[in-house]
Structure formats: C-alpha cells, structure tokens
Structure 1
C-alpha cells in the first residue's frame, strides 16, 4: 500500500524532502501544495519578492544537488537566457553568485525533473499550485488538509510542513512603509526622497537596490562599478545598532576540513560542565589560537571570555568609517579568492558555528541571554558575509552621494507620524519619507501557526514553541505526534539560531525523510 504524503510548500525544503523520500524505496503517493502559481521556486527566489539585481548568497559549490548540480544546470542553459540575467557563459564557475531569480528557475526545473522520474518509477505524484492550505486536522484514516477555497484533501499518513520564511503580510504595507522587503516593495514606485532601511544585512542591501534601480543604473568600466543617477534627490540610509556593514564572502576550502579542537566529542562534553557556554568558548579560543595565532594576538584573545570576545571582535570595524572598511575588506577578499588564500580565523569561525548550535538548547536562560548578546552576533556576522558584488554596489551608491549608514546605538525611538517615519537617537532626529524594515526573519511560536486546529492543539498542550524530535516530527499532541513534520525554519529558530539557508533546508529534509520512512519518534531539541 502506498504511503500517502503531503508536502506543504515547494521551496528548497519541500523539494529536498521530496527528493529524499524518493530514495527510501517505498511506494509513495505524494501531493505537493504550493500557495503561489509556480511550484518549485520558493518565496525568496520569486519575481514577486526579487529582481534580477538581487543576488543569491550561495554558490553552486555549496548547493546540494537535486537532480543535477546548479553549475551543470547553468551550463546547459541557452546563452540568451544567461545573458538576460547578466551572466557570461564563459565566466561560469562553481563559486559564482548568481541572481536569486535564476536560482528559483533551477529549483523549479529540478522539481519537474524529480516528478517525471518519480512517475516513471511508479510513484503517484500530484502538484497543486495556487493552493493555500489553511488548516490541518485529524480525521478518519489520517490527516486532512483544508484549502482556502473550501476543499478538503486527504487523508494523508504524513504531512510535511515546508512553508519557509514568514514575514508580515503585504496588507500591512503602505506606499511609504514596508514591514519587510517582501511586502510589495518590488512592485512599488518609490519616489526620490529620503528612504530609511532598518538593517544592514543582505536583505537590507537588496532593499536598497530595489529602490536605487528605479532612479539610475549601475555601469561597469573595467573593474570599476559606478552608479549613474537621474539627477535624483534620492537619499538612502541603512541603519542598525552598530552601524557596521557586512563583510564580503571569503575564500575557504569546501567541503569543510575537520576542526582540530572543537570536535563533536569535545562539544558534547561541554554540556555536562557547570558552565557550558564558558566551556564552549574555551574550545573556540583554542581553535582560533591554533588556526590563526596572529589574529588571536591582535585582539588579545587569550584574555577574552564568552562575554568580551564579541566587543573585541567588532571593535576595529565599529571605530572605522563603514565604507572605508568595506573597500579595504573587498580588496582583501578578492585578492584571497584569486590566490586561494584561506584566512584561518574566518574559516575556523565558519566551521564552528554549527557545532556551537548543538549546545544552545542546553543553555540556561542566563547563558542563552549571554550567548545571544555575544557569540551569536560573531557567528552570524561570519557566516552571513555577502557577495562581493553587493559590496561593490554599496560603494558605488556611496560614491554617487546616495547612500549613508547610521549607527543607532542601543537606545533609540522609532515612531510613524502619518506618512513619515522618525527615528530619534539622543538629541538627533532622522525623518524618512519612506521606511523599509529589512531586519530579516524573526523566530515564530505556536501562536503564529496559520493552521487553527494544529495551533490550538499545541497551545492546549502547553507548547508555546512546537516541540520536535530529531526527525522534526512533532512531539505531541497525540493527533499530530509523529505524523506532522515541521520543516518550517521560523518555528525552529528558537533553539537553532543559525538554521538558515539552503544547506540547512537540505539537512532538515534528509532528517524528515528518514523519519517518514522509519516512523520512529526520537526526542531531540525542541
């Protein structure tokens, strides 16, 4: 008898879950539900939320293949298609950052290829596009999915929730206020006025590009990039508490080399110690000292602890002009990429963040607060480095007199006054005619789930945050335990603060497929 599976959401998590299920050797009936009109693309990679100027923050070498690798798929595309995205077919390589829209097309093509292969193998596959699931409820024979148009689908033996990122609804946006860069900004006409963007990450940079491209264009001359504008009065301000810009993506060996000090066994031993956060920092300090003694000496790492490391790490950048630092950092990373030079401390931090994440659920409330205020910021800064081209664009906007960066500090007031947004820092007031909140995904809880029956059952069971097993199946309540698999990243971020990106989607999907195949309920982090 075929196992009946529903996958809600067809972005990367949904696609990788489908891919992994097909490897288990079981006869399957899989229905994939997609809220949008084209399955397989995923919200961050769709024309509704991205433009051709917005780059994906991942290269082919890091993207887990679905049917083919991303680079192989790119090399098979017509020249005209690549050129329409600003790519030269002769320059394609596996460390290249490409437009997000093109990555979305890759995933759609891969999904359709998976479906064709699955049907050839005898599985029954259905894709339901423009189909919004509004509830999940138990019923005779399994779980049933309620659709916005009143239909009910099912029963299903297992339901995989792969709904991806969840941002404020577009209905909350106005012509002058956008609660996220994905709340209608791409289609909005932004006048040449003062524009404030909260955040300095890649999402904030994308928001700045969406606005700037309406008032000019980037032009390249040799290695130089400039922004030619239309005599505009446009002024864009990126802002954050620290006022620093992200650094550019750096070269390192992939797949990752094993760590020397922070091994799995060493990390596991930290949990049993009286002060696990301080124990993990001892490992971090030893790893960096071994990987990059000069950096360790420069910031005085030997005298730092879990609380003082972050201030020391950011001190030089916070004291520098953000654009001068960005220009210097860009020169450094481009030199290192050209010469395949690995910076020891950067690579060590990149490999350690996933190890450290494993002990986060074991931290006390006090240590979790310390972690969020310190080490978490360092790790996020390291792994959220942005494509070099994004830094070049920021510098071009700065050189054109359009872009500035504002450090807000820890105490500031934000108020919306009619169509304007005002931010006060100390004695200074900053007023913006258009305001975009681009601070990224926030962790969500059970009360945010858009499925009333499931939401009510979790809350009634006292699960303010959904509890999941190692295979991401729900642990209780009984009607859903072991039958609903929660692969939606916003609901996993409380205890997995770094669970972002395509590689995380693939890892989650593998665990889910194993759980669906075995039916085990292994308690893990919640």
Structure 2
C-alpha cells in the first residue's frame, strides 16, 4: 500500500485578487495541499479596493471585463448569469454587458468573493484541506524549525511550509483621518458625511476622481439627458466646490480601444531591450528602440511630436506639450469623443497601443538601470507610460465633465514648488499662483512604494533589516532571498513592496501574473533571482 503524500502546508495572508489567483494556481499544481487563508476583513475574497469600506456603487474598476483573468468562470459569463435585479442594483442592464464594460468595484468584489467560495468548495471535494479564517489579523510571522508560525489577534496559527504575503495595497488607517482631512480616499471617506463646502482633492488619477465622486454623490445625482450625462445638485448644496489638483494640472485620458490579447512588439522586444543593459548608455539605447517602435507603428504621430529629434529626457515634455497648453476640460471632452468614436468603429490609435505594450516590456529592465538612468527614467519616460496605461473609464470622464458643467468641479495647477499646511481644521495650499484654503481635504495620490521598514510584521521586518535589505529582495517566484530563516519560505506578493523594481506593477492582471509565478516556483523549486 503506497504511503500517503503529506499535504504541503501553505498560508495565504490576504484574500483579495492576488490571494485568490494564488490559491487557484496552487490547486493546479497537482499536489495535495493544506491551505489556510487569513483575511483581516469580515469577508474573504473581496479585497480592499472592492469592499464597501473603500468603494461606493459610483466607483468604477479601472479594467474592462475582457482584461480580467478568469478564476473559475470568466467575469463576463458571471455577469450574464446575474439576475436583472442584481445588475440593476449597480445601474446595469443586460444590454450593457459586453467585453469592454467597466463595472463598479463593488460588483467586481462580489465576483471575487463568489469565485473564492467555488474554488474552496471544489478543492475540498478533491481532497484538499482548505481553511478560511475571516476577521483575523496577522500581527507577526516567525520562522521555526517546524515551519512558519503566524501570530494573529486570535492566537498562533501554523506551522506552515510556505507563506504568501498577499496583503495588497497599504494605506493609512481610517483612525488617522479627521472630519476635515483624509490621508487617502480609503481612510474613512466612504462612511464620512462631507458637508457642502470647498473640498480639495490632491491628485487627478482615477483614485482622485473616485474621491470627487464620493463627495459629489452626497449632494446630488447624475442622470442621463439624451446622450449627455448631467449632475443635479441638491438645492441645499450650493456651497459645494470640488478642486482637483496636481503639479501639472493635466487630467487623465479615457481608456482607448485596442486589440486584446496584445499583439507582439516589432522592434522593442524583450531580448532587444535586455541587450540594451550591456550598452554604454542603457537607457538611451532602450529609448532608441522605443522611438523606432513608435515611428514604425504611427509615423504621423512621430512627425507631429518631432520624435526623431527627441531623446529619453525630452520625450515626456513633447508628449505632454499640447495637453499642458490646452484647457484641460476641453481636451477631456475632445478625447472622450474620440475614444467613443473609435470604440464604436473598433479603431485603434497606433501610437497609444504601442506605448501600452511598451511599458510592460520596458519594465523588465528598469531594476537593472544605474541610479542615474533610473532617475532619468522616473523623471521622463515613466510619466509617459503611466499616463498611457492609467487611462480611466470613459464614464469617469463623463462624470468629471458633468460636475464641471454643473459649476462644481475645477482644476488647480500647483507647479513644482508648493506647500501644504494644516491650519486648524482647514488645509492650506500655497503655490506660485496664490493661496487656496479647503474646509475638507483628501489626499488621493495613490499607493506609494514601501520599504522593509514599513512591514507590519516585526520578525520579518527585523530579519530583512538585519540583512541590510531596505527593499526586500525576491526571486522570480517572489520568494525572499538572503532573508535569514525566511529565505525561500515566504513569498512577497504585496504590491507596494514590489514597486521599486517594478514601477508599473498595478492592477488585477499583475496580481494574476504574480500568483502564477509563485505557484510555478512552488511546483518546480526553481528560485532564480528576479532580474527585471
């Protein structure tokens, strides 16, 4: 009689998309598993950005349904299986469902919750041992000869052969917010009652737009008027003014139509970009490929911006020049019309599509650039790529324009030299054009890259700092390297700690890619250093 195989004991800390995709890929390894999923929140499977604590029904996920990697069933199929009443709660009709639809974050959270429960049910039926611990906060992780032990607010859990840290984004807690100052849109803003006053929102990304929507919808409602979207302000909210602000005063553009899955690049391929690292000037060599890729894809755009005479340092200024000179809301209106027209006709703007594919290829070499080249990249090319891939749902632009037309929304350009101070309950911004005072202020600049010092687990933090790892070192399967007794036993899948070497590691597709790499490493035991 064969000896039973001992299940591999794995802890997954965090049950948002990264944790769910990790479980899914682990179950595909063909090995017996004993997996414990630990979730700090009350419900496993939702993830902070998709929970009722961090999102309202007005907030849209910044990913089209076609781009969401399936867990058990594809997202669009899951949506089509919902009842009319379920869809109606989110303002959706059955005719709205298509593969380019941007849906509310809360609805996407329901999808992930449902998929996790199906995964767990099927895994248990197949003989795996799957345990979900909800409302359980992991406070420390300690290596022992028997395995990793997790100290939680409900007691010690373990031992585990491996642990996956999939805690997602990390923002200030709600208790750091006040009635008039929110250090992030996820610091109690959704539950707060914001008065009709002058509200400042730092940032212009989708997070900032969502913050503006969270405030505006407390004082009125959006409605359709033919093909237009309008905002009706409540009569008692005449004092409401919302000011978005950033250094450049440039609004994001609307997400554009393009072929999915992505077509391969013709010039700036992975091997070609990797070879640039051996050149005397790696960033400049890489830009030569980027320029050639764009010129081949869209010669008219290249001619319009003078691409042939630009370099890695000047491209960003030329890229943003026309938008910087234009009225931002007029630009947004024209861009929205172009995007909607192209979507209807299934037309792809070639230069936009080239940049979208280039950012993923270029990211693979960023970590290997010298400090000087990395600083140049961050000051120029990075801004171009972020602007391109962080395009927002068209409906979000429509809402911004509706608030603008209602006389509620404006945009403030801060420039590079500004000061933010707190004066009593107010927030004051001093900038080259003057001084602005806000009764309520929301910092919506998004996730910052975190370091080992920011890890909330004392033993892990100490082990990394003892090895002089200001930034955690990870292998290609995201397991820790040179981390004492944590080496090879803990996989770091928490995105804020990966952003140094992977500046564009955001979103659900990145979560799925990380999860696949983790499961692949556990299945094969191959743990090469992560070289970008």
Q: Please tell me the TM-score bracket, short chain as reference.
A: over 0.9
Matched, 1:153 2:157: yes
Matched, 1:137 2:142: yes
Matched, 1:3 2:35: no
- Given the alignment, which residue of 157, 162, 166 partners 1:162? 166
> Contact 2:415–2:432 at 8 Å: present in 1 too?
no
Secondary structure of 2:164's counterpart equals strand
Q: Indicate the residue corresponding to 1:171 in structure 2.
A: 175
- Given the alignment, which residue of 201, 220, 224 partners 2:228? 224
Which is worse superposed, 84-93 or 181-190? 84-93
Secondary structure of 2:526's counterpart equals coil
Superposed CA deviations along residues 81-130 of structure 1, whole A, max 9, x for unmatched, are 00010000122101100100000000000000000110111100000000
> Runs of at least 4 residues of structure 1 off by over 2 A?
518-521
Q: Indicate the residue corresponding to 1:396 in structure 2.
A: 402
Q: Distance in 2 between matches of 1:517 and 1:486?
A: 17
Correspondences of 1:11-26 after superposition (within 5 Å):
11-26=16-31
- Given the alignment, which residue of 65, 72, 90 partners 1:67? 72
> Contact 1:357–1:497 at 8 Å: present in 2 too?
yes
Q: Distance in 2 between matches of 1:145 and 1:265?
A: 41
Q: Indicate the residue corresponding to 2:56 in structure 1.
A: 51
Secondary structure of 1:479's counterpart equals helix
The total of aligned residue pairs comes to 525
Superposed CA deviations along residues 220-274 of structure 1, whole A, max 9, x for unmatched, are 1221000000132100000000001000000000000111111112111111111
Q: Distance in 2 between matches of 1:59 and 1:303?
A: 36
Q: Considering only aligned residues, what root-mean-square deviation do their CA atoms show, in Å? A: 0.8
Q: Indicate the residue corresponding to 2:129 in structure 1.
A: 124
Q: Distance in 2 between matches of 1:288 and 1:476?
A: 40
Correspondences of 1:258-407 after superposition (within 5 Å):
258-407=264-413
Correspondences of 1:415-494 after superposition (within 5 Å):
415-494=421-500
> Contact 2:329–2:401 at 8 Å: present in 1 too?
yes
- Listed as ranges, the gaps of 5+ residues in structure 1 are none
> Contact 1:475–1:481 at 8 Å: present in 2 too?
yes
> Contact 1:197–1:239 at 8 Å: present in 2 too?
yes
Superposed CA deviations along residues 177-231 of structure 1, whole A, max 9, x for unmatched, are 0000000000000001100000000000000000000100001122100000013
> Contact 1:176–1:420 at 8 Å: present in 2 too?
yes
Secondary structure of 1:295's counterpart equals helix
Matched, 1:209 2:231: no
- Given the alignment, which residue of 181, 184, 187 partners 1:183? 187
> Contact 1:136–1:451 at 8 Å: present in 2 too?
yes
- Listed as ranges, the gaps of 5+ residues in structure 2 are 1-5
Q: Indicate the residue corresponding to 2:81 in structure 1.
A: 76
> Contact 1:482–1:520 at 8 Å: present in 2 too?
no
Q: Distance in 2 between matches of 1:138 and 1:309?
A: 48
Cα deviation, residue 78, structure 1: 1.1
TM-score calculated relative to the size of structure 1: 0.99
Q: Distance in 2 between matches of 1:374 and 1:408?
A: 19
> Contact 1:360–1:495 at 8 Å: present in 2 too?
yes
> Contact 1:482–1:519 at 8 Å: present in 2 too?
no
Matched, 1:519 2:518: no
Q: Distance in 2 between matches of 1:359 and 1:274?
A: 15
Secondary structure of 1:493's counterpart equals coil
TM-score calculated relative to the size of structure 2: 0.98
Secondary structure of 1:405's counterpart equals strand
Matched, 1:197 2:232: no
Cα deviation, residue 427, structure 1: 5.0
